[in-house]
Amino acid sequence: MGVKKKKEMQVAVLTICCQDLETLKSFADVEGKNLASLLLRCVQLTDGVSQIHYVKQIVPLLEKVDKNGVCDPTIQSCLDILAGIYLSLSLKNPLKKVLASSLNSLPEFFLPEAVHRFTSRLQEELSTTDLYSYRKVIDNISSCMENFNLGRAGVNNLLKNVLHFLRKSLIEILEENRKCAGNHIIQTQLMNDLLVGIRVSMMLVQKVQDFQGNLWKASNSPIWQHMCGLLSIFTKFLSDDDLLQTVQSTSGLAIILFIKTIFHPSEKIPHLISSVLLRSVDCTSVPEWFMSSCRSLCCGNVSGSAVLFLCQGTLAMLDWQNGSMGRSGEALLLDTAHVLFTLSSQIKEPTLEMFLSRIMASWTNSAIQVLESSSPSLRDSLNGNSSIVGRLLEYVYTHWEHPLDALRHQTKIMFKNLLQMHRLTVEGAVLVPDPFFVKLTESLLRLEWHIKGKYMCLGCLVECIGIEHILAIDKTIPSQILEVMGDQSLVPYASDLLETMFKNHKSHLKSQTAESSWNDQWHETWVSPLLFILCEGNLDQKSYVIDYYLPKLLSYSPESLQYMVKILQTSIDAKTGQEQSFPSLGSCNSRGALGALMACLRIARAHGHLQSAADTWENLVSGARIKQGLIHQHCQVRIDTLGLLCESNRSTEIVTMEEMQWIQFFITYNLNSQSPGVRQQICSLLKKLFCRIQESSQVLYKLEQNKSKHEPEKKLTKQHPSVSLQQYKNFMSSICNSLFEALFPGSSYSTRFSALTILGSIAEVFHVPEGKFSVLLPFFEVLFLPYNSCLYIMKFAKKLSPFSLIIICQPQSVIFMNYAYYGKSSSSYLPNLFVAVLR
């Protein structure tokens, strides 16, 4: 696999107008050391990345200038040109951020002049009348507000102009969008421009300091008039169904933000917004400016989508923390909930359903914020037994299996928040047995396990009140969940819920009881049902439990492996006729405890939960047990036992002598498997073993060459590297001999297929490209040849290397094999070619 090249940064080159270029040339000094010279060299470059280097030199150069330099026409002109450069760069150009960062570090005595120059250039930008240049100006306003001191100062100085420009641009872009009806490409761009314009307007209100006071809130103030004008525009956008829904939804946010900013006194804002949401505005009691700007919200027939987006703005733009809006804020929260419930029964459009689910989840977040410092009456209105919580639970149950992943995710947020809301309403009381939690748990447990939403809700409930209270209601829950793991569609949900449960249970037990007692209880609850499924479950249950649940349990509790091995070994060793928890050895139709043992050990080793192979064979499982697994009647037990020997989480782990002997033992009895799937798995696992031998041999060779006596060698192998390497060579030679011998005339197709495939894997793994070095000397070379290639071989045999030769063809082809010793000439081993024709 090739090394992926790092993608080079693309930076567009900055340029300046001819007039600015001439100015720089006129001020550049002969020595080329002043700021004008630096900028001149920068703009003459044709590489944006190189220009970044020059931009970073601007401030260090100015730091060398004294205060009198402020009056220097060269520096004044350069600051002016720098402002122009900043505004000319696109929003995504890295040079823009680099320049802003540099100018943020200007010496303080240069700031007034720099702000003056930047303000002048920005004012020129705002005066543009080219509609298709509006987006660039809007982007510049946005970038000025983002971590750029000069830009923010310039916007503050020109706030009236900026608001006027935004107002004008939004109106003209909307009109242009109508004119371009039918041209979807241009309309999409224009609506995107509208969206950005709305967001920048909101950014101004949130970040410009002038809006924090009340000086601008006079009806004759230009800023006030522009704010009301923008609010009127957003109201039109909200009700315009020809616009994208993202434009409408963002307009809903902007309307609430602008009302919050403009309306005075602030204590009456919640009541005003409640009346808008409930469509019950008293037109005689609201300010004239509000009626003028938001008349359609007061007197018109407001659509459901418009009300929905206003609900979103209400929850997102108002301050719900610390009860800052008082009782009127609490009333607004309840009113918003009732409006959302009404909309949930009316909205059928998928995109609006998605908006609704997010907004309802947002409502529960706001409710939690308010409940943290709320009045007793609100706590009564939002406890688990209230009608509002009941309606929210009904929404969750209705939508927890919705086809959209994002909507299902929102129901999970809602359910989790509902539990937290109830906890806040009964804070100080004993949570369990709390009637609401007990009733909710029992109702969930009564549902069928094929309902996927049940798993999500139970997981949230476990995190809220703890698994021990759920187990107190029904202690067979772990077994029930494991039982459904034969259904592939439920497996991810079931395994995730089990993981949540056993983690929570262990944390609880560790905090309550002594180490020895909680270990036994935890294992009895979570591990014993697992072992029963591995021994007694159907094929699908076993497969999915091994693939999904067992790795999670061992990853969280590696020490549980010893418990598994102990229980399963005891069951295997039980005498015939005695009462046993699980069937002991199994049969051709059942894996039994031995199969469960091998599956557990295989998964543990593959995921790195066994310290070393040697410790495993010495302390966990005997060689006799391994051999039992390798020749078990059930094919999956044989595969799992072979996988235990072949797979490791470390590709360079040494293959022990015991493992090599067992592999040889396995090959002796398993080449003739009649199942194509089993043969494929055997060949795949053995290939993994050969890869381990190949990679670990490289490490062993380096250790041998370095004659290292350091700790890494001791960790890798207990014997000298040369001994392990020789064992590898002997093992591979013995394997090859066994495979060759299996190719005798008259051997079965399955035996031939297995032997040839394994030999092919050996040749592939130990193939050494020309010019490369191999630790293990090549025992053979492999050539894939067509059926009628005998004459070809004979013709070119003298050109072959003097190493042992294996020519492996596809089945129904000819195999040429040579067992000549190394060093013999081609002429001496050629007569020894043995030809076996596969028919």
For 740-789, how does the pLDDT look when each residue is reduced to its tens digit (9 = 90+)? 888 888 889 999 999 999 999 998 888 766 655 555 744 444 333 333 33
**Percentage of the chain exceeding pLDDT 90:** 65
Last residue within a domain, chosen from 377, 396, 425: 425
Q: What is the pTM of this model?
A: 0.82
Considering all CA atoms of the chain, what is the largest pairwise distance in Å, rounded to the nearest integer?
Answer: 115
Element (H, E) at 51: helix 48-55
Once rounded to an integer, what is the mean pLDDT over residues 822-830? 34
Whether 401 is covered by a domain: the verdict is yes
Distance CA(721)–CA(698), nearest Å, equals 10
Distance CA(639)–CA(98), nearest Å, equals 60
Collapsing DSSP states into helix, strand and coil, what is residue 145?
coil
817 forms bridges with which residues in the sheet?
A: 806, 834
Report whether pLDDT(56) > 50.
Answer: yes
HEC letters along 217-280: CCCCCHHHHHHHHHHHHHHHHHHCCCCCHHHHHHHHHHHHHHHHHHCCCHHHHHHHHHHHHCCC
Collapsing DSSP states into helix, strand and coil, what is residue 140?
helix
Whether 60 is covered by a domain: the verdict is no
Last residue within a domain, chosen from 397, 425, 453: 425
Distance CA(313)–CA(277), nearest Å, equals 11
CB 817 within 8 A of CB 805: yes
Describe the crossing of helices 149-157 and 94-103 by its angle, rounded to 10 degrees: 80
Of the candidate ranges 1-15, 487-501, 661-675, 745-759, the one whose mean pLDDT is the lowest: 1-15
Last residue within a domain, chosen from 410, 425, 440: 425
Of the candidate ranges 112-116, 234-238, 583-587, 665-669, the one whose mean pLDDT is the lowest: 583-587
Once rounded to an integer, what is the mean pLDDT over residues 96-112? 93
Burial class of residue 334 in the structure, from the number of CB atoms within 10 Å of its CB (0-12 exposed, 13-18 middle, 19+ buried): middle
User: Domain span at residue 386?
Assistant: 321-425
212 confidence band (pLDDT: 50, 70, 90):
low
Describe the crossing of helices 350-371 and 387-399 by its angle, rounded to 10 degrees: 140
Q: Between 10 and 438, whose confidence is greater?
A: 438
The number of distinct structural domains making up the chain is: 2
Amino acid, res. 753: F
Whether 420 is covered by a domain: the verdict is yes
Report whether pLDDT(797) > 50.
Answer: no
Distance CA(574)–CA(597), nearest Å, equals 15
Whether 592 is covered by a domain: the verdict is no
Contacts of 69 (CB under 8 A, 6+ apart): 62, 75, 110
Structure tokens at 675: 């199942």
Report whether pLDDT(246) > 80.
Answer: yes
Give the model's pLDDT for residue 71.
Answer: 85
Cα distances (angstroms) measured from residue 697 to each of 361, 643, 702: 58, 20, 9
Whether 472 is covered by a domain: the verdict is no
Distance CA(571)–CA(717), nearest Å, equals 34
Whether 351 is covered by a domain: the verdict is yes
Distance CA(133)–CA(138), nearest Å, equals 9
Cα distances (angstroms) measured from residue 539 to each of 488, 571, 631, 681: 12, 20, 20, 17
For 411-430, how does the pLDDT look when each residue is reduced to its tens digit (9 = 90+)? 999 999 999 999 999 876 65
Mean pLDDT of the chain: 85
CB 561 within 8 A of CB 554: yes
Give the model's pLDDT for residue 587.
Answer: 54
For 580-594, how does the pLDDT look when each residue is reduced to its tens digit (9 = 90+)? 444 444 555 568 899
Give the model's pLDDT for residue 370.
Answer: 92
Distance CA(220)–CA(287), nearest Å, equals 15
628 confidence band (pLDDT: 50, 70, 90):
very high
Give the model's pLDDT for residue 214.
Answer: 64
Could you tell me the sign of the dihedral formed by the alpha carbons of 201, 207, 210, 213, in that order?
Answer: positive
**Long-range contacts, 700-703 (Cβ 8 Å, 24+):** 700/654, 700/724, 700/725, 700/728, 700/775, 701/725, 701/775
Give the model's pLDDT for residue 432.
Answer: 61
Report whether pLDDT(674) > 60.
Answer: yes
Torsion on CA atoms 579, 585, 590, 592, rounded to nearest 10: 60
| Of 136, 144, 240, nearest in space to 189 by CA | 136
Distance CA(442)–CA(438), nearest Å, equals 6
Whether 578 is covered by a domain: the verdict is no
How many Å separate Cα 37 from the centre of its chain? 49
Whether 42 is covered by a domain: the verdict is no
